């Protein structure tokens, strides 16, 4: 059985994961409106992945016989700067999520909740991957600059995510 402390924290994490999906979807819409279809596609896929993360927490809470309590989700920003600015925000956001997952794990340790610790290990590994990908994209965009042919090619490369 989940403690009240962990249940509250897991329900909060559902909200954070869904906010992440909104955040990336908003970025996707911005990229689409600013003729960056590859980046829009990449960010839409990231939004879908964040929704899947929320559903993992949702299912886990139910599997443990506890009640899911959905919370209000804040509206994300709708205006962003350059593509580099966008992916720097992605990188910063993924570091924030890593911190949230780490605190969840620390709570599970304090509560001696071994099933939750095991479940969270998947998310810890996932966050290592998320931060790595964000850093690689930021590095690539810093190399190509904020305009020109190289930026067009970087956007096209981002659009190949999930296509082989």
CA–CA separation, 37 vs 31, rounded Å? Answer: 7
pTM score: 0.93
129-152: pLDDT as tens digits = 999 999 999 999 999 877 778 888
2-47: pLDDT as tens digits = 999 999 999 999 999 999 999 999 999 999 999 999 999 999 999 9
**Which domains, and CATH codes, for the chain?**
4-70+78-158 (1.20.1260.10)
103-133: pLDDT as tens digits = 999 999 999 999 999 999 999 999 999 999 9
**So what's the pLDDT on residue 25?**
98
**So what's the pLDDT on residue 112?**
97
Tokens of 93: 């956001």
C-alpha distances in angstroms, 50 versus 27, 42, 60?
Answer: 14, 13, 15
CA–CA separation, 73 vs 93, rounded Å? Answer: 16
39-93: pLDDT as tens digits = 999 999 999 999 999 999 999 999 999 999 999 999 999 999 999 999 999 999 9
């Amino acid at each position: 059985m989940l403690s009240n402390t962990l249940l509250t924290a897991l329900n909060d994490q559902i909200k954070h994961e869904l906010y992440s999906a909104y955040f990336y979807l908003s970025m996707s819409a911005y990229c689409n409106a600013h003729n960056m279809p590859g980046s829009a596609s990449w960010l839409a896929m990231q939004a879908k992945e964040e929704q899947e993360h929320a559903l993992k927490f949702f299912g886990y809470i139910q599997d443990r016989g506890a009640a899911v309590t959905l919370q209000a989700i804040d509206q994300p920003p709708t205006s962003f700067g350059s593509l580099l600015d966008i992916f720097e925000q992605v990188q910063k956001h993924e570091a924030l999520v890593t911190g949230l997952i780490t605190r969840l794990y620390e709570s599970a340790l304090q509560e001696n909740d071994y099933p939750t610790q095991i479940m969270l290990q998947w998310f810890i590994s996932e966050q290592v991957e998320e931060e790595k990908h964000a850093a690689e994209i930021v590095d690539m965009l810093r190399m190509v600059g904020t305009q020109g042919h190289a930026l067009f090619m970087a956007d096209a490369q981002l659009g190949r995510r999930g296509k082989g």
